[in-house]
Amino acid sequence: MTPLSWNRLPKVTPNATYALTQRGAGVPDRLPRPLLAHGNGRSYGDVCLTEHGTLLLTRGLDRFIEFDPERGILRCEAGATLADVLALTVPQGWFLPCTPGTRWATVGGAVANDVHGKNHHVAGSFGHHVRHLTLWRSDGSVIHCGPSDPGGWFAATVGGLGLTGLIQQVELQLMPIHNPWLNMASWRFTNLDAFWPLNREAEANWPYTVAWIDCLARGSAQGRGILMAGQHAPAQARLPNFKESRKRMPIDPPFSLVNGISLRAFNALYYRQPTHPAGTLSHYVPFFYPLDAIQHWNRIYGRRGFYQYQCVIPPEAAESATAELLNAIARRRQGSFLAVLKTFGHAPAAGMLSFARPGTTLALDFPNRGRATQSLLADLDTIVSQAGGALYPAKDARMPAALFQSGFPQWEAFSEFIDPGFSSRFWQRVTP
Ligand SMILES: Cc1cc2nc3c(=O)[nH]c(=O)nc-3n(C[C@H](O)[C@H](O)[C@H](O)COP(=O)(O)OP(=O)(O)OC[C@H]3O[C@@H](n4cnc5c(N)ncnc54)[C@H](O)[C@@H]3O)c2cc1C
């Protein structure tokens, strides 16, 4: 089956696919070029796709090489998933210091997109916790690099969108935990104006924060939502049992089940869910990975797929541009069902093309309704561009080249590090 990305867009077929295995990480010379690594296809869009050449499927490269349970240092192959890592390390008291909202991403994919989590304001992005990388280049050479690499290979490969070569192994510094549970709290806020001070207070007190917003709400309720915060639970004698509930989207409907009516109903219900201002316990699985509970949830958008739109707006423009973005969405009545708002911290970026940077990030999903959706997204682009913001390549299937280049001013310097035998549909789309 042709590998796809998570939003099922664009539908492009490479000339070949080649499954890498633990037994020989070698890449045969005969494969059509350009090459591109494909982890678990949890990106939305075409950073993990090519329509020419060969997709190198990395899931078979999933060996743990070494784990030091005293210091929490793990060396593994890049095709191991974050779920594989957690299954090994959580029982031994170690957790990923940064995790995205799915544990089905691979370690290589997490490095190549320099992914961020709910704790960016205190812990930075994934690349900040990588101690060492092994990078295979298409001329057969292997580069070993770490954060203090003077040659620039590390900074180019972290967030390097898979273009500097194939990441074979990654050494990670994990963080200690006492158990798999978190103390979490949640609060309802009535509109966007109420979100900002609540969020500032939560960030000052909690390492994990994120907000869901109802982007169909208008007028004085615009930007209403739920803010969630959490921290790893201290050692304690009694903890509840946890059994993961896993459901499956049983059908693959030809059309999107997300429409004006279902969205309005979902948003109203979600907004009224019970909150926990006084705190409660949550296991790490539902806390970090609520969407992983429904296998194939991306099918609810139908076979035409959907667009994810994730932007970051610099701090000085964040409040006004976020309100403008919500206005534009509500005006067009194309509200998103997963609308997530979070502020990033001030850590300098780990990679030359890292997306996470000081500012506020808003992530939205829209069913693909063809021209109507394209036109809405173009309006959102104008707001992001005027505010000096950027879009996340990991969540993109259509951003204009000019917006990529203004949002990632180091793209030309980065180009020097691209492996001449590698490319992606994304890169071909956003650069000359
Ligand atoms: C439900 C859900 C929630 C998410 N939440 C977040 C979030 O909170 N924060 C966030 O930042 N992202 C988030 N994402 C996006 C996801 O974490 C990233 O797109 C991640 O990179 C996907 O990893 P993957 O292994 O599936 O890689 P793929 O999607 O297959 O590939 C991603 C990129 O990595 C490159 N790559 C993969 N493996 C290698 C390798 N071995 N060597 C070199 N390059 C490689 C590919 O070429 C491509 O450029 C989410 C995605 C989903 C589906």
pLDDT value at residue 98: 98
Q: Name the nearest CA neighbour of 340 among 195, 197, 203, 183.
A: 195
- The pocket around ligand 1, CB under 6 angstroms, is made up of 6, 36-43, 47-48, 58, 78, 100-102, 105-106, 108-110, 112-113, 115-117, 161-162, 166-167, 291, 394, 424
pLDDT value at residue 426: 98
Output the pTM of the full model. Answer: 0.97
> 333 in helix, strand or coil?
coil
pLDDT value at residue 24: 61
Burial pattern 359-390, b for ≥16 Cβ within 10 A else e, equals bbbbbbbbbbbeeebeebbebbbebbbebebb
Cβ-contact 49, 15 below 8 angstroms: no
* Mean pLDDT for back-to-back runs of 10 residues, the chain (432 residues): 88 93 79 97 97 96 97 98 98 98 98 98 98 97 96 98 98 98 98 98 98 91 96 93 86 81 84 94 96 88 93 98 94 81 97 98 94 96 98 98 98 98 98 98
> 428 in helix, strand or coil?
helix
The burial of 179, by beta-carbon neighbours within 10 Å (0-12 exposed, 13-18 middle, 19 or more buried), is given as middle
In the chain, the domains with their CATH numbers are 181-235+244-398 (3.30.70.2520)
Rounded to the nearest 10°, the torsion over CA 61, 47, 167, 137 is 120
> 43 in helix, strand or coil?
coil
Instruction: Find all residues with CB under 8 Å of 421, minimum gap 6, and list them.
Output: 33, 34, 35, 137, 138, 139
User: What is the DSSP code string of 175-186?
Assistant: EE-SSSEEEEEE
Helix locations, 333-387, DSSP H: 371-386
Q: Which atom of ligand 1 is nearest to the CA of 116?
A: 11
Q: Name the nearest CA neighbour of 340 among 358, 355, 325.
A: 325
Cβ-contact 221, 191 below 8 angstroms: yes
Amino acid, res. 412: E
Q: Which atom of ligand 1 is nearest to the CA of 112?
A: 34
Distance 40 CA to ligand 1 centre (A): 7
Nearest CA to ligand 1 atom 14: 100
User: What is the DSSP code string of 201-250?
Assistant: HHHHH-SEEEEEE-TT--GGGTT-EEEEEEEEPPP-S---------EE--
Nearest CA to ligand 1 atom 11: 115
DSSP code, position 362: E
Cβ-contact 340, 210 below 8 angstroms: yes
pLDDT value at residue 99: 98
Q: Please state, as a whole number, how many other Cβ atoms lie within 10 Å of the Cβ of residue 240.
A: 8
Q: Name the nearest CA neighbour of 375 among 334, 431, 341, 319.
A: 334
Residue located via tokens 């295995």: 21
Q: Which atom of ligand 1 is nearest to the CA of 340?
A: 8
Alpha-carbon span 97 to 125, nearest angstrom = 9
Distance 104 CA to ligand 1 centre (A): 9
Nearest CA to ligand 1 atom 3: 101
